């Protein structure tokens, strides 16, 4: 039983990692109607910026604020200069650009900061408390930050006119333009915000998995799964999906391990946990193609 | 004047003829493709890009070592032309690049091609072509089969040998060991684990109470560490690459699990493992070493470490010496230089393998005291001795004797 609680807690902590990345994916999807494959590598690059600023003596939160701002600018620049000529181009052209960006950011980070893993400081105090054997302070902080980000995003899209304009620009550019929304700038803003969220996600992830250019490669996969299972257009759904994937994969391994201990029969184990978790994701998507919390989008033709 | 000139010309011409006939009579120069009077062409593949690109530093270091050698006159008067290509750690790409090296660039030999999957993919090709695949950069145990693969040789202690040495140490020192194993789920992990099991012996295999595996795509090994702690294991054999090793050490400390901790040599680095994991949490970890860590203060006065640092300062000023891959590249490159020196003017592929298979007591720079390279026509495992050590403070404390497992 004790192990069960530990595995769930560790799953939630991993889930918070996936949730943060999923949020950045949702952001860019809601703002531009595309899934950005380079999201993970951009977040990794931003995390290196944060690390560099901390190395230069800045306080963690100050460094994070700076690098989030810098990432915001980088996001806008990428949209303005690289993706703008592709407005109206087929989706596949965009995908090629995303994959190109992925390779560029990956190599750039390796060239500038080398591939050696770096310890990344946790901003949360290293205290012991009742139950700290189950879940560490950084893990709790990470969960809190992902929930905070979620509420901020939710409020932004729901209660601000800018958020509304961004959603309109992504979903129906022609009509949005007619009611006076500057669609081009909305897309750029979406990129900027997604990059800034990526910077925050990276700073939360790095203390747990160590900072290196490959840091986000596999996490992005889990983030995708989380975002899709919860509903790619819904921040709350994406966060719930992230946590779900994190807990699921741990429990699959846990029950497989227990079964093997009890009966000597190996059905699933650590090697298959991702596969089983993703199989469950596929099953959910087959039954509910828009995700657990997604709304069916009806388009009038 | 004219007479004088004629005399001089005749004299010098006859002298030239004499020297030519002398050299052809005494030093019979023999060359295969890739070697000439002025150059030795050596091929290599490395993951300069992609997931394993951290290893690319080995290739950069080897390149720098050959540059140093060339600047000081080369090997027996010949410059080494080191041709190295990126394979992104993808075996199909390795095959493509190696075919280019052998068939287009016409290299004399391959040296230190990196990675178990890539070397496996070219293993048969190299032996069919009879082109040396020398001192490959992988610790898999399959590179030492001179009977079936006469053109392939490993370099570092193989994983099975190392795993067996840990098992022997556990049997000697732990009365009722309950062993938990964390293993990367691929050929590298399995090689270590099989050697470890063989070292324990059939009767003691039940000492292993928990085997938890992870995939290289797993973000963390937290879940596996919780499993291991709850299995009640009091001995931990940690078969992980650096990032996961650091994660495992950190997580063990966080959840308060304090087993006797054995860590594979793959992750024996302060810079990339113990410092990121926390030096405090790393105290007491036992591992097998065969090279000196140039960052370890106990080697500050060693001649080879000094030479290594001087070389790095001049030829790789940008390099981060905390990264152990530089250290590895330096040591293995000098082994290759030794073989090329011994080959003299007989630079055929056959002679190269013959020289590589007759190294006796060669102390490559940065090898630990007492560890020597020995090979023979039937022993294609150059380094088969290790020294057990434990992490103490900011350094490794050696204990016991050099443990060798030489094949004959």
> Any idea where the domains of chain A sit in the sequence?
16-216
Q: Report chain A residues touching chain B, CB-CB < 8 A.
A: 2-3, 6-7, 10-11, 13-14, 17, 107, 110, 114-119, 133, 136, 205, 208-210, 212-214, 217-219, 221-222, 249-250, 253-254, 257, 269-271, 273-274
User: Who has greater pLDDT, A240 or A265?
Assistant: A240
The whole-chain average pLDDT of chain A stands at 87
Provide the pLDDT confidence category of residue A130 given band limits of 50, 70 and 90: low
pLDDT surpasses 80 at B296? yes
pLDDT at B106 over 90: yes
Answer yes or no: is pLDDT of A49 > 70. Answer: yes
User: In the prediction, which pLDDT does B33 show?
Assistant: 93
Contact B230 A214 (CB under 8 A): no
Cβ-defined contact of A6 to B226 (cutoff 8 Å): yes
Question: CA-CA distance, A83 to B103, in Å (whole number)?
Answer: 42
Global pTM reads 0.83
On the question of pLDDT at B385 being above 70, the answer is yes
Q: State the fold for domain B39-157+300-384.
A: Rossmann fold (3.40.50)
Contact A225, A280 (CB under 8 A): no
Q: Where are the alpha helices (DSSP H) in A84-181?
A: 91-113, 137-159, 161-171, 173-178
Is B25's pLDDT higher than 50? no
pLDDT at A61: 95
Nearest by CB to B217, which of A11, A115, A274? A274
Q: Cβ separation of B54 and A119 shorter than 8 Å?
A: no
- Strands (DSSP E) contained in chain A are none
Chain A contact probe: residue of B53, B223, B245, B275 with most A CBs at under 10 A: B223
Residue B394, CA atoms < 13 Å, CB-side half-sphere: 10
Residue B51 has pLDDT above 90, yes or no: no
Nearest to B53 among A110, A269, A271 (CB): A110
* CA-based nearest residue to A254, from A15, A14, A19, A1: A1
- Does the pLDDT at position B14 exceed 60? no
A246-260: pLDDT as tens digits? 999 899 888 888 888
Residue of B61, B222, B242, B254 for testing the chain A interface, max A β-carbons within 10 Å: B222
Residue B230 to residue A117, Cβ atoms within 8 A? no
pLDDT at position B272? 83
pLDDT, position B406 = 64
Number of Cβ within a 10 Å radius of residue B280: 8
Give yes or no for a contact between A179 and A186, defined as CB atoms under 8 angstroms apart.
no
C-beta atoms of A274 and B242 within 8 A: no
**Which positions in chain A touch B320 (Cβ < 8 Å)?**
114, 116
Query: At which residue do the structure tokens 């999807």 appear?
Result: A29
Minimum distance, in Å, between the CA of residue A165 and any CA atom of chain B:
36
Share of chain B above pLDDT 70, in %: 92
CATH of domain B159-289: 3.40.50.2300
Which of A75-89, A124-138, B108-122 has the weakest average pLDDT?
A: A124-138
Q: For CATH 3.40.50.2300, list the domain ranges present in chain B.
A: 39-157+300-384, 159-289
What pLDDT is recorded for position A115? 79
**Contact list, B185 vs chain A (CB under 8 Å):** 270-271
| CB-based contact B227 A217, cutoff 8 Å | no
User: Of the given ranges (B200-204, B300-304, B391-395, B402-406), which has the lowest mean pLDDT?
Assistant: B402-406
**Minimal CA separation from B54 to chain A, in Å:** 5
- Mean pLDDT for the stretch of residues A172-198: 89
Give residue B9's pLDDT: 53
Kindly state the average pLDDT of the residues A132-142: 81
> Tokens 């070389």 appear where?
B311
How many A×B Cβ pairs under 8 Å?
Answer: 93
SS3 B87: coil
DSSP three-state, residue B328: helix
The pLDDT > 90 percentage for chain B reads 74
Mutate to test the interface with A, among B226, B255, B278 (most CBs of A within 10 A): B226
Q: How far is A126 from chain B (nearest CA, A)?
A: 10
Residues of A in contact with B215 (CB under 8 A): 270-271, 274
A241 pLDDT above the threshold of 60: yes
Question: Residue range A209-215: average pLDDT?
Answer: 90
* pLDDT confidence tier of residue A138, bands split at 50, 70 and 90: confident
Instruction: Name chain A contacts of B217, Cβ cutoff 8 Å.
Output: 217-218, 221, 274
Q: How far is CA A129 from CA A66, A248, B84, B329, B381, in A?
A: 32, 26, 54, 46, 52
Distance from CA of B198 to the nearest CA of A (A): 22
Model confidence band, residue A299 (pLDDT cutoffs 50, 70, 90): low
Mean pLDDT of chain B: 90
Q: Which helix (H) or strand (E) holds B208?
A: strand B208-214
CA A175 to CA B170: how far, in whole Å? 73
- What average pLDDT does range B236-260 have in this prediction? 93
pLDDT above 80: residue B1: no
Q: How far is the alpha carbon of B185 from chain A, nearest alpha carbon, in Å?
A: 7
Nearest to B323 among A110, A116, A136 (CB): A116
Residue A194's region, left for phi above 0, alpha for psi from -120 to 50, else beta, is alpha
Cβ partners under 8 Å of residue A234, min gap 6: A26, A291, A293, A294, A295
């Amino acid at each position: 039983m004790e192990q069960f609680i530990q595995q769930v807690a560790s799953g939630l902590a991993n889930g918070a990692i996936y949730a943060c990345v999923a949020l950045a994916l949702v952001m860019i999807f809601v703002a531009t109607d595309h899934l950005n494959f380079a999201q993970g590598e951009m977040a990794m690059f931003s995390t290196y910026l944060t690390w560099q600023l901390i190395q230069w003596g800045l306080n963690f939160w100050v460094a994070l604020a700076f690098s989030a701002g810098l990432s915001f600018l980088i996001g806008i620049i990428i949209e303005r200069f690289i993706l703008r000529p592709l407005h109206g181009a087929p989706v596949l052209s965009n995908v090629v650009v995303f994959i190109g960006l992925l390779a560029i950011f990956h190599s750039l980070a390796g060239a500038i900061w080398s591939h050696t893993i770096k310890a990344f400081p946790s901003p949360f105090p290293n205290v012991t408390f009742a139950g700290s054997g189950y879940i560490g302070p950084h893990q709790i902080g990470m969960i809190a930050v992902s929930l905070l980000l979620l509420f901020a995003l939710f409020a932004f899209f729901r209660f601000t006119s800018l958020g509304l304009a961004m959603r309109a620009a992504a979903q129906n550019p022609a009509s949005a333009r007619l009611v006076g929304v500057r669609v081009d700038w909305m897309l750029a803003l979406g990129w900027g915000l997604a990059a800034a969220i990526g910077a925050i996600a990276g700073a939360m992830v790095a203390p747990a998995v160590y900072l290196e250019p490959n840091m986000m490669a596999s996490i992005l996969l889990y983030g995708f799964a989380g975002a899709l299972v919860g509903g790619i257009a819904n921040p709350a759904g994406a966060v719930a999906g992230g946590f779900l994937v994190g807990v699921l994969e741990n429990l699959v391994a846990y029950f497989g391990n227990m079964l093997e201990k009890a009966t000597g029969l190996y059905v699933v184990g650590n090697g298959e946990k991702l596969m089983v978790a993703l199989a469950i994701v596929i099953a959910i998507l087959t039954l509910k193609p828009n995700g657990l919390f997604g709304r069916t989008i009806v388009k009038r033709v | 004047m004219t007479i004088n000139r004629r005399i001089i010309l005749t004299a010098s011409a006859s002298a030239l003829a004499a020297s030519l006939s002398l050299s052809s009579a005494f030093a019979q120069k023999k060359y295969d493709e890739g070697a000439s009077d002025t150059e030795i062409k050596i091929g290599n593949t490395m993951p300069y890009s992609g997931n394993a690109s951290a290893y690319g530093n080995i290739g950069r270091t080897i390149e720098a070592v050959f540059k140093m050698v060339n600047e000081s006159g080369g090997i027996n008067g010949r410059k080494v032309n080191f041709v190295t290509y990126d394979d992104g750690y993808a075996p199909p790409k390795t095959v493509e690049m190696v075919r280019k090296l052998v068939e287009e660039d016409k290299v004399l030999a391959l040296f230190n091609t990196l990675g178990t999957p890539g070397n496996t993919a070219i293993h048969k090709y190299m032996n069919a072509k009879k082109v040396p695949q020398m001192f490959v950069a992988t610790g898999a145990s399959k590179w030492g089969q001179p009977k079936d693969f006469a053109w392939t040789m490993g370099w570092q202690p193989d994983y099975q040998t190392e795993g067996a040495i840990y098992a022997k140490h556990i049997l000697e020192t732990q009365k009722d060991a309950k062993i938990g194993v964390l293993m990367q789920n691929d050929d590298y992990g399995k090689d270590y684990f099989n050697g470890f099991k063989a070292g324990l012996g059939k009767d003691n295999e039940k000492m292993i109470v928990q085997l938890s595996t992870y995939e290289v795509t797993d973000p963390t090994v937290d879940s596996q560490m919780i499993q291991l702690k709850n299995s009640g294991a009091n001995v931990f054999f940690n078969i992980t690459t650096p990032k996961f090793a650091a994660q495992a050490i950190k997580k063990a400390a966080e959840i308060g699990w304090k087993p006797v901790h054995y860590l594979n040599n793959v992750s024996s680095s302060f810079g990339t493992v113990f410092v990121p994991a926390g030096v405090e949490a790393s105290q007491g970890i036992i591992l097998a070493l065969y090279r000196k860590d140039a960052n370890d203060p106990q080697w500050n006065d060693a001649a080879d470490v000094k030479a290594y640092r001087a070389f790095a300062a001049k030829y790789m000023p940008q390099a981060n010496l905390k990264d152990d891959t530089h250290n590895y590249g330096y040591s293995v490159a000098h082994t290759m230089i030794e073989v090329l020196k011994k080959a003299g003017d007989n630079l055929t592929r056959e002679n190269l393998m013959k020289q590589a298979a007759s190294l006796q007591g060669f102390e490559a720079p940065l090898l630990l005291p007492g560890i020597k390279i020995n090979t023979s026509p039937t022993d294609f495992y150059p380094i088969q001795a290790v020294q057990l050590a434990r992490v103490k403070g900011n350094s490794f404390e050696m204990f016991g004797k050099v443990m060798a497992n030489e094949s004959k």
